[in-house]
Structure 1
Amino acid sequence: MILLRHELGEVLREIRQDQGRTLRDVAASSSVSLGYLSELERGTKEASSELLAAVCGGLGLSLSEVLELVRDRVERVETFGTPVSLPVGPALGAETVSASAA
């Protein structure tokens, strides 16, 4: 099952690290506590829209840009999680299985 807070946290962490910034720096620029930002990145807290907008602003991105990156991650996870149908031969009957086991 996909948890949106985990995907969001991964996106926020990747953006921050790509910018070469620390949690402390982003927390200060977004006026969000360091501990709360850390919990958001780990996917243990759900962000309100106001808080998420503040973090996005602190990262220098719009909310829509971050949500688009989250959407892309979710889509990728959904694609990987979709079972693939494989061609299978006819099922072996019980007598064939027991005969081959003997």
Structure 2
Amino acid sequence: MSTLLVGLPDVDERPPLLREALGDALRSTRRRRGRTLRDVAAAAQVSLAYLSEIERGQKEASSEILAAVCEALGVTMLHLLSVAAASYAPAAPAAAAEAPRPCETPVAIAA
């Protein structure tokens, strides 16, 4: 017997967890700057394995770790957060998605 959950978004439709969005932002920033995981981990004084887990969204990084990684990358925390925030932007403007459809049945208007 299967249970149907009405009103819950599909797994693919859920917004990313904060740790996932931050990890994606760190990875994309690191790659855009042409830096290796090993290089950034050493500069931030965190283990390579731990930084990898952060980038994959498997670990929650403390603000101290995020600050150290941002410093190693030469970006501000604000930059990192703005890149992560883009993960939460809707694909299409909400107003366009909720725009009324044209009337499909004829309507007579008396003056």
Task: Specify the TM-score bucket, using the shorter chain as the normaliser.
Answer: 0.7 to 0.9
1:58 to 64, 72, 79: 72
Once the 2 structures are TM-superposed, how far is the Cα of residue 15 of structure 1 from its aligned partner? Answer: 0.7
Equivalent residue runs for 1:58-97 within 5 Å: 58-75=72-89, 79-80=90-91, 84=97, 87=101
Tell me the C-alpha RMSD between the 2 structures: 2.2
Partner of 2:48: 34
SS class of match (1:80): coil
Does structure 1 residue 13 correspond to structure 2 residue 27? yes
Identity between Structure 1 and Structure 2 (%): 49
- Say which structure is richer in helix: 1
Partner of 1:96: none
Structure 2, unpaired ranges of 5+: 1-13, 105-111
Superposition TM-score, scaled by structure 2 size: 0.68
Structure 1 ranges of 4+ moved more than 2 A = 84-87
